[in-house]
């Protein structure tokens, strides 16, 4: 389920079956790593679309959580906002919260979060044709399924 009126209407009727929220973490940078940040964001957004299709009815995909990177490449000043979002999700019935990212800096912040950071290295998509992109994404989702199931077990 995505964060749109149609899916939210279904969620409100079926919320007892939707126990997992996914928050894509999308970096913004205007420094030397601007293209890398854009690539990571594109990868996570496309991966989220494919993952949502696989888990429709079990997961709610939140709007992307965008953040600025500092000059060292670390998330800048948004950790508190993300913790607030996690708390709100938990208070509203989501048992599990996954933060989907290609930014390795978030791995160091997982200890500060209640949810699980799911990190995958991004695959450069800019020169791929659409069918190949989607094939790559399906492969990534298949790998990610194992990670998510393991995290559900660890968090449960």
All domains of the chain, ordered by start, with CATH?
A: 5-155 (3.40.50)
Report helix angle 130-155 to 34-54, nearest 10.
70
Question: Over the range 64-76, which residues count as b (16 or more CB within 10 Å of their CB) and which as e?
Answer: bbebebeeebbbe
pTM of the model: 0.91
Give the tokens for residue 86: 């996690």
Side-chain-side CA neighbours of 63 within 13 Å: the count stands at: 6
Side-chain-side CA neighbours of 10 within 13 Å: the count stands at: 13
Q: Is 132 exposed, middle or buried (0-12, 13-18, 19+ CB in 10 A)?
A: exposed
User: What is the Cα–Cα distance from 40 to 123, expressed in whole angstroms?
Assistant: 8
What are the tens digits of pLDDT across the range 12-55?
999 999 999 999 999 999 988 899 999 999 999 999 999 999 88
What are the tens digits of pLDDT across the range 129-156?
888 888 888 999 998 988 888 888 888 6
105: nearest Cα among 131, 82, 128: 82
């Amino acid at each position: 389920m995505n964060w749109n009126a149609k899916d939210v209407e279904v969620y409100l009727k079926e919320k007892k079956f939707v126990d997992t929220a996914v928050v894509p973490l999308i970096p913004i940078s205007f420094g030397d790593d601007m293209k890398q940040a854009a690539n990571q964001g594109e990868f996570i957004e496309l991966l989220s679309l494919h993952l949502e299709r696989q888990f429709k009815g079990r997961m709610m995909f939140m709007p992307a959580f965008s953040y600025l990177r500092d000059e060292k490449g670390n998330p800048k000043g948004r950790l508190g906002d993300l913790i607030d979002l996690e708390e709100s999700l938990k208070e509203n019935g989501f048992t599990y919260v996954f933060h989907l990212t290609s930014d390795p800096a978030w791995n160091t912040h997982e200890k500060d979060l209640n949810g699980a950071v799911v990190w995958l290295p991004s695959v450069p998509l800019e020169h791929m044709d659409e069918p190949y992109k989607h094939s790559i994404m399906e492969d990534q989702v298949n790998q990610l399924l194992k990670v998510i199931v393991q995290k559900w077990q660890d968090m449960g």
